[in-house]
Amino acid sequence: MFRSWLSKIAANSRGNVATIVALSAVPLLLSSVAVLEITSISNDHARLQAAADAGALAGAGRLSVATGAISGPSDTAATVTKQTAAQSGIATAVSVQVTVAADNSAVTVVATTMHQPIVDLLGARTVTATAKAENMGHIPLCILQTGTGGIRMQNQARVRATGCAVHANDDIKVDPGAMIQADRTEAVGTISGPVSPAGFSGAMTIGDPFASMNLNPPLGCVGKPLTIKELTGLVLALPPGVHCERYEVEKNATLILLPGEHYFMNDLNAHENAIITGDDVVLVFGSTEKITFADKAQVTLGARRSGPFAGFLLVTTRDNTQTFAIASDHVNKLLGTIYIPNATLAVETSGNVAQDSAWSIIVAQNLTLKQNPNLVINTGYVGSGVPVPDGVGPNRSQPVLAQ
């Protein structure tokens, strides 16, 4: 009898343990389902966002085409968004709302779908993604600050870039007495100070349009004497090639750069009424080299018209982190693209700079202006004789995401 009683107790105990185990497993099961549900919603949102991005970019690509047709920006954006969503595996219907900016510069897509839960008890969820793409083709990109450091305007400095866009991948800081005038001014970070018309902060980063270019000199200066060429009251016509000497152009001397690629493996300085002139040229500076145009030095330069550096005027190798200083108010012509991806362009003078250029484009790690300069960025691309590189100026036709 005693053994029978113990057997019943044991059986009841096993049942209670099973019940306890089952009950304790419920929160764990719900927690696992919640994790799976959150992951599933996140995946749906990522797929929907990618679809909205694709639709906005496709729509922005049609902004230069007359609207109202079946293939206009709105229809294109909606169609591409739905097709991309379906191809990505979103099973439920996707509704799309498309807005085209009044000035035909941007397309905004708002895509919505219903996420079906893994467990019906949790209920369906609304998933929404928003994307905005701009087509900057109608606003040439003439100043691009590429890295950290931003654009800094001090004292009474001015940038006059009417007709084109100024973009900073960092902040734009303008002193109260300074000013930026451009068709569009935008910064990934913040914009402070006088900007006309008002700038746009929180922009998307613009990548280096020339990141794939080969900027290395054809040969170096190892084993060659690094002498100093002091030009005083002389005229020197310098053929293209690799220049290992440091050039000090001063006291009414004239340096004429003959057409072609000039690789400077040492500094190029001009001051005391010196003159540097050249047409159909590009100046490529090595890792530790730089220019300084100071005093009353006169600089008149036009970029290469053909070859791998067509459209480029001043270039540095990618390991160059120097400061290129324009400290003369007689730097009248800088026709072409200044591309110093990891260096700083510092304009530190009074008066106009580059005002006689048909067009100028600046792509630099940092841009600083102080004292009282007026940096003039013209946009006479047509008929200049110098081609504009793809990715900047009026040749920046590819739409980019702005949100």
Rounded to an integer, the average pLDDT of 266-272 is: 92
- pTM summary value: 0.73
Q: Show me where the domains of the chain are located.
A: 2-134, 138-401
User: Tokens 């730097």 sit at which residue?
Assistant: 331
Nearest C-alpha neighbor of 180 from the set 193, 189, 168: 193
pLDDT for res 85:
86
pLDDT for res 9:
43
Q: How far apart are CA 188 and CA 175, in angstroms?
A: 19
pLDDT of 336-358, one tens digit each? 999 999 999 999 998 899 999 99
Rounded to an integer, the average pLDDT of 38-64 is: 82
pLDDT for res 174:
97
Question: Per-residue pLDDT for 72 more than 60?
Answer: yes
Question: Per-residue pLDDT for 54 more than 70?
Answer: yes
Lowest average pLDDT, out of 6-15, 157-166, 294-303, goes to 6-15
Which residues have a Cβ under 8 Å from the Cβ of 124 and sit 6 or more positions away? 114, 115, 116, 117
Higher pLDDT: 345 or 15? It is 345
Question: Per-residue pLDDT for 2 more than 50?
Answer: no
pLDDT for res 298:
95
Q: How far apart are CA 238 and CA 76, in angstroms?
A: 55
Give yes or no for a contact between 275 and 296, defined as CB atoms under 8 angstroms apart: no
- State the DSSP H helix or E strand holding residue 331, giving kind and residue range, or none if neither: strand 330-353
- Residue type for 175, please? D
Give yes or no for a contact between 70 and 122, defined as CB atoms under 8 angstroms apart: no
Q: How far apart are CA 143 and CA 137, in angstroms?
A: 14
Give yes or no for a contact between 313 and 393, defined as CB atoms under 8 angstroms apart: no
Nearest C-alpha neighbor of 354 from the set 376, 374, 336: 376
Rounded to an integer, the average pLDDT of 48-74 is: 71
Question: Per-residue pLDDT for 64 more than 70?
Answer: no
| Res. 67 pLDDT band, cuts 50 70 90 | very low
Question: Per-residue pLDDT for 365 more than 90?
Answer: yes
pLDDT for res 300:
97
Which residues have a Cβ under 8 Å from the Cβ of 60 and sit 6 or more positions away? 73, 77, 106, 107, 133, 134, 135, 399
Supply the DSSP symbol for 345: E
pLDDT for res 219:
78
Which residues have a Cβ under 8 Å from the Cβ of 306 and sit 6 or more positions away? none
pLDDT of 143-191, one tens digit each? 999 988 899 999 999 999 999 999 999 999 999 999 999 999 999 999 9
Provide the mean pLDDT of the chain: 86
